Structure 1
Amino acid sequence: MYEEDAQLASQDWSLHPLGELPGVDSVTYGIVTPGPHQPAGVPLLQAGDIVGGVVDQSTPRMIDAAVHRRHQRTSLIAGDLVVVLVGRIGDAAVVGVEQHGWNAARSVGVVRFTEAGQQHGISMWLKWWLKMPEARSRYLESSAGSAHSTLTISTLTQLPVPLPPLGFRTRLLRTMRLVERRMVLNTRIAACAMKLADAHFVRCVEENKEAPRPAAVIADVGEVVGGMRRSAAIEDGLPVAWAAPAEVLRHRLAHLDRTDQTTWAPPHAVCAPGTILVAPRPGGVETVVSRIPLVPGRGMLALRVERETDRMWLLHELRSRSKELVSTAQGQQGREMSRKAFSRFTVAWPDSAQVREPFARIAVPLHERANTALEENRVLEALITTEFTEMAEQTKGKR
């Protein structure tokens, strides 16, 4: 204990494997076989529940209490760091009091801290270090050649983690906490803006329900583009963001502004910013609009719409009809969008001058406000990344 306190309070630079970092108590993974969903059971944290550095509590899977009791080593404690081990490897969140007592799935690593580690903010330090290019390159390299990106507990435990002098670390942790508070606020602002836009759409539909309801099929108001598998380098191609269906499904807001992976694609296959993306889930279809050039992944569809007025109406029309759009999915358990069925889907298409344009005049600024908030989050995250990178460069000679 004394040695740990001394290392955490040291004014010297040090480098440690994550599993041996002062303040870390244990590193493990969750339940391999959790069993079927039990509505009255214990919440199970899965990799998909870790979104944007926080835990999404909306629809956790529930497991039998007896299974939970047999796996007490991963019964979560407030302050634990939970790390995605499959897919978006390295994404992490600190467990809050709301998730205290949950359990974790095999796809999630659980890092537990000593009392001294909690006091010195090692959980937040690790959460941000896992985002850094130096850390990501190491665990992505270990996953090269795998069908799915996978971070093993062995690799996570051996990941080198820098521990700078206490004074420097304390200042950077203070900045991290302020940045995270602002990012949470910005996310709330973006979510409220989207709720207002959705509510305005509902109101607009209600106000015009007595008027004639012109309709159109989707293929007549936009170009439907099928998804593609990821591809290695190709002739006359270029690297571009590749959006997997899971990224659309887990996105809590209507804007997709980043992806975890890239692909090579010919220029004509790249969808411009403003493209509507749709992906199926059990019981519904999720709809978002892209903010970056990208290629849609296999199983989902993209809808190119030229006029912003039309795009705004279609986006909210599709969001409001999520359950009806299930009829446009196909394959095992309806996990893929059918381009043919989706193209023939009928949407409300009221007069542009009387309905769609007035709606867009209010909806567009709300979307712009949401995007501004999300853009600030990207800048703030880049600020911390830059601080970490400069710190690593300045102190390499002191290790």
Structure 2
Amino acid sequence: MKENKLYREVVVVADDFTGANDAGVSLALSGKKVSVAFQLPFREATDALIINTDSRALLASDAAKNIAQLGPDIVNARWLVKKIDSTLRGNVGAETKALQVLSNKRQIIFAPAYPAAGRITQQGKCLVNGKPVNETEFASDPKTPVPSANLADLFTDLTGKAITLHTLEAELAQGTELLIVDAATDDDLDAIIAAALTCTQMPLLVGSAGLCDALARHLAPARHKQLLAVVGSMSEVAQHQIALIQKASGVSSVVIDVEDILQGKTTGYLTQIAQALEAGHHCIVHTCPDHNARYQIERLCQRYQLTRAALGETICAFLGELTRHVLDAETPDALYVSGGDVAMAVAKSLEAQGFEITGRIARCVPYGKFLGCAWLRPVMTKAGGFGTAETLLEVLHFIEERLSD
């Protein structure tokens, strides 16, 4: 067989198709390219390769032979996972041993818990909704009955040691071959992944979809929450707030030229805002580039034969529609609108029917959510002249540190 030299960040070996999908879905949701292979060798580039050996109901010796054929497709994996059924059905011990031999892994972490499905490990035993698994329906499974809840009973060729999280890192450091780790929560599974990272050689991970989910959480790229701020106010207070926040890292500013609005030259602004958000930045959209801009209003009114009220309505309507188009295309974590007329124009463009107040930030920024429209994420509003120079920065910190998903 020709060797497969493609690098895989993660290789998961599952014993049936649905289990393979369960193992891979959280990795896919974390942004990884995930492929499930029915046949080997698998030549396509992928971040995570999920191999389905379809061996759950085979004799243990035949299942082990299937594992032994996988060499070229697992050799370059940084993370190697033997995905098992959370109720211990199948050939867990035989397949784990075969995969350890094939991969030359010195240590194995065995953590079959799947808390989200009611399956936990306690004192070295598998419990399903609080009962030992051999006292549930899985004990009489038609194809792969489970005779024991004691996890060490699964391994005839490995010496297992049941431990708690408190001693996991110490046991890894001592070189203990098979560690059967209690876990009752997702936080426990996250801690197991963290402990694996302390090893010189990454251990073979053996577990259910719960452990795969924990690995996906570890591998998911860090993402900071994003704010889209639309500031229509030309007050000096608002300008001080914008000037200060522009000095913060991860903040992009898009200045809307009022003359572009009046001349209908507005096509590029949506692209600028989208690029800022897609780059992971907070985006501040405003119409007043400097202190002097507010003194040009009379000139603009005369040039375009508009009253001040009509000019304001035109600007607000544009900002409302621009915000709607941005939110149709992008998903910032929160929306901030400064200036009462602008806030109302945004609400109108989004077809909001009302506003539910939840709380307040920095003493002058009520926040909540629009009612009756498609935008369901938090909305912050502020009168243009309210607050201090730090107000918008405080809103930013609230978004990044305190806003829940």
**Pairwise TM-score range, normalised by the shorter structure:** under 0.3
| Higher-RCO chain (CA-CA 8 Å, sequence separation at least 6) | 1
Which structure has the bigger radius of gyration? 2
TM-score (norm 2): 0.22
- Name the structure where helix makes up a greater proportion of residues: 1
